[in-house]
Each structure stands twice: as structure tokens, then as C-alpha cells.
Structure 1
Amino acid sequence: MQSNDARLLVHALVPTLAAGVVAVAVSAALVGGAGAVGAVIGTLLVVLVMGAGLVVLQQTAKNYPQLFQMMGLLLYSVQILLVAVFLLTFKDTTLFDTKAFAFTLLGATLVWIAAQTRGHMKAKILYVDPDSAEAKKAETAGSPT
């Protein structure tokens, strides 16, 4: 993973975990232990699904840049399906409070997307490699004599 990729991951991860801590505290205060467990599970689900998606997308961009846009669309579809499967699997659970889980899942996802967007906007990532442009110019310039 390149330093830009790690930086983007950290810029999205830290605010999401902070929002998760707030959600756990609020859920514990309003619902009790089951609410806190639901908030923790919701936060972890967002971090795992969105973090894995970001890593996969960055690897695709590095190795197969021509597939980047298609992979992004496929990745978001798979992420939605994974969360849907999790929701269907645990829809009648008594392990945690489902409302606290749902609100935390929604909030953490929105925080992740906002933080990732901000990280991309703040990152100074070159879309043209200046070194390769100089080398190409030198190759096509012809003989200096």
C-alpha cells in the first residue's frame, strides 16, 4: 500500500471510529448494554466493509487502472450486498439492540464517506507523473548533435 493510500485509509478510519465511540456512549445511555453492543457491531461492520473496499479499490487502481471505474461500481454493489446479508442474518437477534445497530451503521457510513471525500479533496495526488513526461520529451527530442 502506498503512503497516499494509507493516508486516505487513516483519514476515513479515525473519524469513523470517533463517531463509533460517540454512538456506543449514546446507545449505552439510551438503551443499555444491548445498545452498546449494537453500536460496536455497527461500527465494526462499517470499518471492515468500507476499509476492505478502499484497499481493494486502491489495489485495482494500481494494478489495473483501466478497470478502476467498473471495479468501483462493482465494489459498492458488493458492499451493499454484504451489509444486506448481515442485516438479514441478524434481523431477529436478541444479541444486540437492532435500532442502535441500524442508527450506528447509518451514521458511521455517512461519516466514513464524508471523511473519505475530504481526504481525497485534501490529498495532493498527481494524476500525471512529471518524471515520465520529462523522459518522454527527452526520448522524442532527437539527437543533441
Structure 2
Amino acid sequence: MPSHDARTIRGAAIPTAVAGVVATAIAAAVAGSKGAIGAAFAAALVMVFFASGQIALDRLTRNNPQLMMAVALLVYTTQILLVGIVLAVFKDTSLFNTKVFAFTLLGCVFIWSGGQVRTHLKAKQFYVQNDDKPDEQVKPGRQQ
């Protein structure tokens, strides 16, 4: 994985983990142990789904960067569908507080997305990659 992708995941995962810990503590105080379980599960779910999506995006576009937008939309749609499936499966569960789970999930998704945007804005990446080798460059006064 290129270092800028690892930086992107780190830049989104750290604030999301902190938000997950804070949400779990608040949920434990307000809704008890079931609230804490719901908040912890939601934070872990966001981190696993969105980190795996970033890794999949990196691997799928490594050799063909022209497909970046199409693959990114496919990966994001798949992530949202998987989150929807998890929500449908645990809709009537008594394992954890579903309202705490839903609010923590929503908050962590926003924090993850904000962390990605912030990391991309702060990264100093080249927009154009020069594939020429130094010995193949055209010297002044010579034409190819």
C-alpha cells in the first residue's frame, strides 16, 4: 500500500477511534452496558468497512488509475449496502441499544469522511507523475 493511502486510513481511523471511545463512554453513562456495546460495535463497524474499502480502492486502481472514480463509487455503494444489511439484520436485536448504535454509526461515518477529506487536503501529492527516465529526457536543441 502506498504511503499516502496508509496516511489516509490513519488520518480517518484515529479520529474515528477517538470518537468511538467517547461515544462508548457517553453511551455507557446514559444507556448502560447495552448502549456501550452498541456504540462500540458501531464504531468498529465503520472502521472495518471504511478501511477495507480504502484498501480495496487502492488495490483495484493500482494498475489502472483511470478507473478511480468508477471504482470509488462502486466501493462506496458496496459499503453503504453492507451497512444497510447490518442495520436490517440487527433491527430488532436485544444485544445492544439500537438507537445508540444508529447515532454512533452516523457520527462515525461523518468523522471518517471528514478525516479522509482533511488528510487529502493536507497531503502534498503530485497531480502529474513523470514517467520519463533521466537519460531519456530531450536535451535542449534536440528534437525527437
Kindly, what percent of the aligned residue pairs are identical? 44
Q: Which residue of 2 aligns with 1:34?
A: 34
TM-score w.r.t. the length of structure 1 is 0.91
Q: Which moved more, 1:6-15 or 1:128-137?
A: 128-137
**Counterpart Cα distance in 2 of 1:93 and 1:135:** 65
| Structure 2 SS opposite 1:31 | helix
Which is helix-richer, 1 or 2?
Answer: 1
CA distance change for structure 1 residues 60 and 135 in 2, over 3 Å: closer, same or farther? farther
TM-score w.r.t. the length of structure 2 is 0.91
**Counterpart Cα distance in 2 of 1:103 and 1:139:** 61
Q: Which amino acid in structure 2 is aligned with residue 117 of structure 1?
A: V
| Structure 1 SS opposite 2:96 | coil
Q: Which moved more, 1:124-133 or 1:102-111?
A: 124-133
Q: Which amino acid in structure 1 is aligned with residue 126 of structure 2?
A: L
What are the superposed Cα offsets for residues 106-145 of structure 1, whole Å, 9 maximum, x if unpaired? 00000000010000000111121246386664389448xx
Q: Which residue of 1 aligns with 2:103?
A: 103
Q: Which residue of 2 aligns with 1:92?
A: 92
Q: RMSD between aligned alpha carbons?
A: 2.0
| Structure 1 SS opposite 2:127 | coil
Q: Structure 1: 5+ residue runs without aligned partners?
A: none
CA distance change for structure 1 residues 32 and 59 in 2, over 3 Å: closer, same or farther? same
